[in-house]
Amino acid sequence: GQQLNQSPQSMFIQEGEDVSMNCTSSSIFNTWLWYKQDPGEGPVLLIALYKAGELTSNGRLTAQFGITRKDSFLNISASIPSDVGIYFCAGRNSNSGYALNFGKGTSLLVTP
Amino acid sequence: EAQVTQNPRYLITVTGKKLTVTCSQNMNHEYMSWYRQDPGLGLRQIYYSMNVEVTDKGDVPEGYKVSRKEKRNFPLILESPSPNQTSLYFCASSLSILAGRGATQYFGPGTRLTVL
């Protein structure tokens, strides 16, 4: 499968700040997913996107499916300490296989 | 509760001793998959299954086997484990392989395997 380019690799922020991370691909996807992984646990789905241009929120989290279908963004507003973890993007193009392609993750640290 | 379960959660073994990690889902999902997660390499797919008796290789299948005799179970088999298979393993499932909501994958809690 294709490795997605996810950035930044890590972020160290203060509580209350907003966070942005993004993921890009060299090929077109028709599904974008954002996961959060806590230490020692499996990734948990945060937001799923299925159409180009789609903007979806889940509490303080907002994600967008890029118009070009080659990128996606995740924003976290007013961060809190429990936002700490690793955030992964994942994308898939069902026309070119069944694998879910993952980014390498963004490690987020939030200080009180 | 809808979930993906894996057993064991932790396993320490020795080189060459066959082992099986079980995976089960209770959501009647068609698609199941195994990943390994290593520092700096992210999640890499080992094998996947699109339905009962239908399996295929992912990106890193060497040294692994799988079977899908029932829809809910997808065990990962290491016939002769080696130290380079020390990793964190995740099972995942989704409703189908089609685009859209059915493609969303749900992950198990992980199995940390150490091969000495």
Interface of B with A in 60-89 (CB under 8 A): none
Reported confidence tier of residue B97, pLDDT bands at 50, 70, 90: low
Mean pLDDT confidence for A43-72: 94
Task: Specify the pLDDT at position B41.
Answer: 83
Structure confidence at residue B2 (pLDDT): 77
CA B116 – CA B104 distance, rounded (Å): 35
Kindly give, in sequence order, each residue whose CB lies less than 8 Å from that of residue B62, ignoring residues fewer than 6 positions away. Answer: none
Instruction: Tell me the C-alpha distance between A48 and A61, whole Å.
Output: 12
Residue B115 scores a pLDDT above 70: yes
Distance separating alpha carbons of residues A61 and A79, to the nearest angstrom: 10
Q: Tens digit of pLDDT for each residue in B13-39?
A: 999 999 999 999 999 999 999 999 998
pLDDT at B16: 96
Residue A14: pLDDT over 70: yes
Could you report the per-residue pLDDT of A62-79, keeping only the tens digit for each? 999 999 999 999 999 999
Q: Do A88 and B59 touch (CB under 8 A)?
A: no
> What string of DSSP letters covers B61-95?
-TT-EE--SSSSB--EEESS--GGG-EEEEEEEES
- Checking if the pLDDT of B99 tops 80, the result is no
pLDDT at A60: 97
Q: Which residues of B touch A88 (CB under 8 A)?
A: 42-43
Q: What is the mean pLDDT of chain A?
A: 91
Cα of A112 to nearest chain B Cα, Å: 27
pLDDT for the residue B40: 81
Q: Give A-chain residues touching B98 at CB under 8 angstroms.
A: 94
Q: Would you state the pLDDT for residue B60?
A: 92
pLDDT above 70 for A98: no
Residue with structure tokens 């694998």? A99
What confidence score (pLDDT) does residue B105 get?
83
Residue A105: its chain B contacts at CB < 8 A? 42
According to the model, what pLDDT value does residue A71 have?
96
Look at residue A21 in the predicted model and tell me its pLDDT: 97
